[in-house]
Amino acid sequence: MSYTALYRKFRPTEFEDVKGQEHIVRTLRNQIRAGRIGHAFLFCGTRGTGKTTIAKILAKAVNCEHPIDGSPCNTCATCKAINEQTSMNVIEMDAASNNGVDNIREIVEDVQYSPALGKYKVYIIDEVHMLSTGAFNALLKTLEEPPEYVIFILATTEAHKIPITILSRCQRYDFRRITIDVIADRLKELLIKEEVQAEEKAIRYIAKAGDGSMRDALSLLDRCIAFYLGEELTYDKVLEVLGAVDTDIFSALFQYVAEGNVSGCMEILEELITRGRELTQVVMDFTWYLRNLLLVKTSKQAREVVDVSSEHFPVMEKEAEMVEADTLMRYIRVLSELSNQIRYATQKRVLIEVALIKLCKPAMETNYDSILDRIRVLEKQVEKGVVVKQQPAVEQVVSVSQQSVEKQKEPETIEALEKAIPEELQAVAKNWDRICASIPPSTRAYLANAIPSVGEGNSLLLLFEDDVARGMFDTEEHIKEVTSAIEQQLHKEVQVHAKYMKNQGKNQEDILDLSRFSKMTIEIEE
């Protein structure tokens, strides 16, 4: 006999076995007891929350010969036929592959025939949002006024794609994400039946990795059991199979970030890459770790909402005291932006390294929360008696020689440069910060390290020391975002070009950095 996956083997066969959807189970059982059964149901919710399972139980319950308190008996001929998928009264259709008008017309024609056995013919249409517009229209009339022996159960993960005309004809039930505790308890029950030993910590991690989906959690458990067949399932083994990262690693990474230790962060990243960890998942898990720290920092009932072991919670409390709440929020913001960028990136490692440097060095950013971080760093240095030297603003750092800096500070040179800048670029220089703020965040992140200068034909030239960042502005889309921001703020047309600065050092002494004039008063004749 072939092996049956855990999520199929232990699929609930009666309402009592359904976990995490008590609000729906109670409503449906009350309907069956009272004989107030609707003709059309719409089950909405994320994957693996029990939509199809409850649909099949409902189909059995309405046709059961001996129902028990609104739940199927699973012993009568009708229940057995439905369980064995041989019943002619229950018709399942996958709308993802049968989404045409002809498929729905077959259902409409079949509806005319009464059930051979039992009380109701139940049509279960999964992924109903995939139906075409014509298919939805063909279903409307039948869905509104079906024969008294017909019940429609529509299941979907994207209810917003369903026409309002369909929604108004159905009883809608929203399935909730299943909590970690509920999933963990269910996994324990199944492990006992499968005679598999597992650590509590390992079970909870699998439950967490399921992300509210019982089916996903069972699939992950199946993988772990298969890899360590006949062995006890430990926490370390689960991490190894799932390619996940232990909480201790994130703890060490956070401490390096809080200390501004870039080299320490790079060492941990190198270790994770060497161990073959999925970088996208690492970013997501680290973001979640920072979320937990923020809750520990700001909530008095953090123990109830933070899912960590009792031995690690005191460690998180100490870590939360290392930084301010808005600093943690800045960390989460940077990593959230990284998650959007890394999804389709080819150089994931580079993007993660840049993000970690941003976390360690708030001076690389110019927004409000990064400025607060920079002020806190200076305050700590002053408290320790460290002499703080004035550093040039990030916008002004162009890697030029000291002699060039001195020359730029001379009033005569500055005045000459002001007169040499064309009128349009004078306006850009004066409003550079405001222009950058109006650019979408995904583009602004790469633009932060660009040097605005004067190009050929009085165009705006963006100089990049990083060829990867420059490559983002090879596309017309990102160039258009910059030009649109300029036109929106200044009502002037300025051509924009991007260039990679290959030769750093002496050749950069002659670069005209427009951002240096953003803090100066430049008179523009109207």
Weakest mean pLDDT among 58-67, 367-376, 399-408: 399-408
Indicate the residue among 137, 158, 174 that finishes a domain: 174
Question: In terms of domains, do 168 and 197 share one?
Answer: no
Per residue in 206-223, pLDDT (tens digit) is: 998 888 899 999 999 998
Both tokens assigned to 106? 């077959």
State the average pLDDT for the chain: 80
For residues 140 and 18, state if they share a domain.
yes
Q: Please check the confidence at residue 406 and state whether its pLDDT lies above 60.
A: no
Let me know if residue 192 belongs to a domain: yes
Separation between Cα atoms, residue 95 and residue 348, nearest integer Å: 36
> Quick one: 489 and 450 in the same domain?
yes
Return d(Cα 180, Cα 210) in angstroms, integer. Answer: 8
14 and 163 belong to one structural domain = yes
> β-strand 40-44 against 150-156: which pairing, if any?
parallel
Question: Average pLDDT in the 193-200 region?
Answer: 90
**Cα 332 from Cα 310, distance rounded (Å):** 24
pLDDT at residue number 386: 54
Query: What is the token pair recorded at 250?
Result: 């994130």
Judged against a pLDDT cut of 90, whether residue 41 lies above it is answered with yes
CA dihedral 506, 512, 515, 516 (to 10 degrees): 80
pLDDT at 109 over 80: yes
| pLDDT score of 307 | 67
Residue 381: per-residue pLDDT: 63
Residue 355 and residue 266 share a domain: yes
Lowest mean pLDDT segment, chosen from 4-13, 328-337, 367-376, 512-521: 512-521
pLDDT at 136: 92
Query: Same structural domain for residues 38 and 156?
Result: yes
| More confident of the two residues 430 and 196 | 196
**237 lies in the same domain as 259:** no
User: If DSSP codes are grouped into helix, strand and coil, which group holds residue 91?
Assistant: strand
The number of folded domains in the chain is 4
Q: Has residue 477 been placed in a domain?
A: yes
The CATH number given to whatever domain includes residue 482 is 3.30.300.180
Percent of the chain with pLDDT over 70: 81
Task: Calculate the CA 17 to chain-centre distance.
Answer: 31
CA distance 429 to 425: 6
Cα angle 276, 279, 283 (rounded to 5 degrees) comes to 140
Rounded Cα gap, residues 343 and 356, in angstroms: 17
For the segment 88-96, the average pLDDT, to the nearest whole number, is 90
Residue 393 domain-assigned?
no
Q: Is residue 200 part of a domain?
A: yes
Residue with the bigger pLDDT between 441 and 324: it is 324
Residues 11 and 158 in one domain: yes
> pLDDT grade, residue 305 (50/70/90)?
confident
Give the list of residues 6+ apart from residue 178 with CB closer than 8 angstroms, or none.
Answer: 19, 20, 21, 49, 210, 212, 213, 214
Under a CB-based contact definition with an 8 Å cutoff, are residues 157 and 45 in contact?
yes
Contacts by 91-95 with C-beta closer than 8 Å and gap 24+? Answer: 91/121, 91/122, 91/123, 91/124, 92/124, 92/126, 93/123, 93/124, 93/125, 93/126, 94/126, 94/127, 95/125, 95/126, 95/127, 95/128, 95/129, 95/130, 95/131, 95/135
Question: How much is the average pLDDT of 488-498?
Answer: 77
> Is 46 contained in some domain?
yes
Instruction: Decide if pLDDT at 508 tops 80.
Output: no
**pLDDT for residue 269 is more than 60:** yes
Q: Is the whole model's pTM more than 0.75, yes or no?
A: no
CATH number at residue 268: 1.20.272.10
What integer pLDDT is reported at residue 279 of this predicted model? 86
Cα–Cα nearest to 196, from 206, 187, 183: 187
Q: Is residue 237 part of a domain?
A: yes
195 and 111 share a domain?
Answer: no
Q: Which amino acid is at 509?
A: E
Residue 379 included in any domain: no
Same domain, 16 and 47: yes
> What span, in angstroms and rounded, lies between the C-alpha atoms of 491 and 424?
10
What pLDDT, on the 0 to 100 scale, is given for residue 254? Answer: 92
- Between residues 441 and 419, the one the model is more confident about: 441
Does 262 have pLDDT greater than 50? yes
Do 202 and 132 have their domain in common? no
Residue 57 has pLDDT above 80, yes or no: yes
Residue 352 has pLDDT above 60, yes or no: yes
pLDDT tens per residue, range 312-330: 778 888 888 888 888 888 8
Distance CA 157, CA 128 (A): 9
Q: What is the pLDDT of residue 28?
A: 93
Dump pLDDT digits (tens) for 134-182: 999 999 988 888 899 999 999 999 999 999 999 999 999 999 989 888 9
At residue 518, the pLDDT reads: 53
Q: Give the span between the Cα atoms of 272 and 336, in whole angstroms.
A: 20
> What pLDDT band is residue 393 in, cutting at 50, 70 and 90?
very low
Do 25 and 18 contact (CB within 8 A), yes or no? yes
Tokens of 467: 């060829």
**Out of 151-165, 272-286, 310-324, 396-410, which region has the weakest mean confidence (pLDDT)?**
396-410
Between 365 and 37, residue with greater pLDDT: 37
Q: Decide if 253 contacts 283 (C-beta within 8 A).
A: no
* Cβ atoms of residues 514 and 453 within 8 Å: yes
11 in a structural domain = yes
159 and 33 in a common domain: yes
**Three-state DSSP string of 169-225:** CCEEEECCCCCHHHHHHHHHHHHHHHCCCECHHHHHHHHHHCCCCHHHHHHHHHHHH
Question: How many CA atoms lie less than 13 Å away from 166 in the CB half-sphere?
Answer: 24
Q: Cα separation of 89 and 138, whole Å?
A: 22
For residue 151, give the CATH number of its domain.
3.40.50.300
For residue 441, the enclosing domain spans: 399-517
